[in-house]
A and B are shown apart, each in its own frame.
Chain A
């Protein structure tokens, strides 16, 4: 089975600064998708950004961008100009192109300091 590892249980960042959350994964497949989800105290998982493995270009969504290193099986999330509303649990997730389920990491709790 695929595994997703988030080695940073907690991170903090000053408001307006930049922070990078790490994620590595293990798979023998070549076609898959990677996601970052945010879970605020409201509990709802919110899609932050998505990356197709066949695309070399890193995905970007406004202040959120990823550094996708396929050979290294690394998928980090960079949050620029951090805002108080970015405080949440962030989960990295893997989904096979042929599969029906997400494999989630254990999450990184992000605190934004005013």
Chain B
């Protein structure tokens, strides 16, 4: 069974540009979450999608957005990139709506803003 797939693995962008990151969950998983990981702030919740609906959003500016498609694949977009957006972006999926079950994470996309 394939795991959570995130593409691309690495990305270098220039300040002011926008970027789109992709996440393909495990087959059958309908819930997808995104997290930002930085050395200074640690792991911070971005948003969660379930059946194409955003259920919750973390404390990030409106430049961060996301969506989920009918096949459960998800994308997140960051517009007007800033140097501080450099981070590892992790996607995670799970099959059940029961919150007690742990998510399966992908290996992340390492975004560097120069």
Contacts and interface: CB of A to CB of B under 8 A. Distances in A.
A91 interface: yes
Contact of A35 (B56, B102, B104): B102
Contacts, number: 58
A28 B50 CA distance: 26
B42 A102 contact: no
A105 B45 CA distance: 12
Interface string A52-87: 100000000000000000000000000000000000
A97 B99 contact: yes
Contacts of A50: 100-102
Given A45-B92, A106-B42, A100 B99 contact: yes
Interface residues of A, number: 25
A104 B100 contact: no
A43 B42 CA distance: 13
A20 B40 CA distance: 25
Contacts of B55: 100
B100 A101 contact: no
A113 B39 CA distance: 24
Nearest to B49: A100
Contacts of B102: 35, 37, 47, 50
Contacts of B101: 50
Contacts of A97: 99-100
A44 interface: yes
B28 interface: no
Contacts of B33: 100-102
Contacts of B3: 44
A30 interface: no
8 contacts: A37-B105, A42-B107, A45-B90, A46-B105, A99-B56, A99-B99, A100-B55, A104-B43
